[in-house]
Chain A
């Protein structure tokens, strides 16, 4: 009996080891070490070819050059705004899908929410360009309806960038909201009414607290996607869109200044981690429970 159980235990150990190996390889070589490398690069200054010394120069450059930190702040603020707008737009839709419609309609509406996201962001953004540009569909419609005298250029401004970001993030807000709201028993809302509540405070005291895990996970993903977005600000915002990822790209690829680009990358990573952490703290949710669902 002892021999049996010990062989079983060692078999279990072997299995654990075999499963841990690919996980560890992936984690170390594709996530941890590359990011440490970036941190390392960001903290050095090139003296001559192949010779580097430790320096905070790249971070100093960020704080002393207004273009850099202003772009950084602007990206953060616009991403937060995008997240808020996406939440407000998506919540009624998620409620409609989870609670108002039933059966086949429900499945179809949910699928309809997903469809736009099975094509690439590039195509979606391209669609908005066709709609919004000076010679675009909406401009023509406005002129036809007599609401505008000449062509209207709706591309290349901040509102359009936000519109694009909201559009592109919508799915990642609707899905977690629908799945948490779906899990909510209707009788909770009925109970709130039965005890004298009305729509507003049932929403505030019962529905929103219940949906908090979904709201937080949706907000985190949408915020991350907006912050890290590159395509939408470039294409809809034009040359002067000033998105921070564009700065990183410019430093890394165009100017080949990896040290500066790496410092920007680290800063962006710190900002995003900070805001995610703050979001989790404020809503008292845990990271693995929020993301790992």
Chain B
């Protein structure tokens, strides 16, 4: 079992002065998987990555790669390589010299280096750029060279520090797919850190959501999206409508919640299984889970009424911004692209409903860390 684990971190801690950057983080990454660490800036993900690379020493805890402890091992002796945020390609060397740099450090024969470099260039789809200067490459080409420079060393783990951040949107979308394909082709374990949930979701086998130095949840993109464990994950991953309220009663595992403005919602409890009357809770509903109709539904578990305040047209991703009738709060709801709803205008009255199982309920955490209502977390 352990032989299938490439990287394992146990109880890692790192602080800068009184600031706890990484707080008791443990995880294991199976061989050959694409693992992302997703979190807002300042959450400690870069610190974590730099500890794995060897540029920072943890205060306590262990890092093992293929079963060998990495503590006290300098960065140039670790079987990990890193693609830096700004790539750190050596500007005074040619592309081929950049890729060959690590091989030369291993005292490999020049002829062999040449072959390996050519092979690496071939594999990243840039067979003819070896003699070029770094400054002659496009943004996407630089990405691929930076990755080739690491992969040619056949590291056990490749670390990627938000390398797509500097690219424009179109190229970023393209590189997401490209990175995933590269990872599959090389079969190397990738650890990718990012603050962009879409990058993490699209590419990863597993994603860890990090906040305030801790892992909130580790899981597949689907698990994070459909079964968030914490209010932070529910708010950070994907978009959600958010309500705060108090438990007023329960029926089996369906909890009844009343908001400050008097609305009553029902939700199935999943994480906290012992919510009782009087507990402060937070409730999340994804925009696509809300059912729209022009007539009131027959006894839905959750119902709201409102009028269309704005139409946020974005092709298949179009949303309606609906102002709730009693409180004036705004909700985002996916606009169904059906003939019935395509012609909705601002001011139309609509009925909203969703099942108790389609919302997520969490016990409120003292000072709420969750994103504000409807906040879209992307950049």
Contact = CB atoms under 8 A, between A and B. Distances in A.
Q: Touching in the complex, A and B, CB below 8 A?
A: yes
Interface of A: 185, 187-188, 190-198, 201, 205-206, 209-210, 212
Contacts of B75: 190, 193-194
Interface in B195-241: none
Nearest to B74: A193
B81 interface: yes
B88 A193 contact: no
Nearest to B161: A187
A187 B88 contact: yes
Contacts of B84: 187, 190-191
A266 B75 CA distance: 55
B351 interface: no
19 contacts: A188-B90, A190-B55, A191-B84, A193-B54, A193-B74, A193-B75, A194-B150, A195-B76, A195-B102, A195-B105, A195-B150, A195-B153, A196-B76, A196-B105, A198-B105, A205-B93, A206-B90, A210-B90, A210-B91
Contacts of B76: 193-198
A196 B84 CA distance: 15
Contacts of B82: 190-191, 194
A196 B106 contact: yes
A248 to B, nearest CB: 40
Contacts of B85: 187
A219 to B, nearest CB: 18
A interface: dominant SS: helix
B181 interface: no
Contacts of A196: 76-77, 102, 105-106, 153
Contact of A210 (B77, B81, B92, B153): B92
Given A195-B150, A196-B106, A187 B90 contact: no
B88 A190 contact: yes
Contacts of A194: 53-54, 75-76, 80-82, 150
A187 B106 contact: no
A197 B86 contact: no
B149 interface: yes
A191 B76 CA distance: 9
Contacts of B149: 195
Interface in B68-122: 74-77, 80-82, 84-86, 88-93, 101-102, 105-106
Nearest to A190: B55
Nearest to B79: A196
B90 A201 contact: no
A195 B86 contact: no
A206 B106 CA distance: 17
Contacts of A198: 76, 105
A195 B55 contact: no
Interface string B233-254: 0000000000000000000000
Contacts of A210: 90-92
Nearest to B92: A209
Contacts of A212: 92
A205 B77 CA distance: 18
A206 B98 CA distance: 10
B193 to A, nearest CB: 14
A207 B76 CA distance: 16
Given A196-B105, A196-B153, 5 more contacts: A190-B82, A190-B88, A191-B89, A191-B90, A194-B82
A286 to B, nearest CB: 15
Nearest to B149: A195
Nearest to A209: B92
Contacts of A205: 90, 93, 101
A198 B80 CA distance: 15
B4 to A, nearest CB: 25
A188 B88 contact: yes
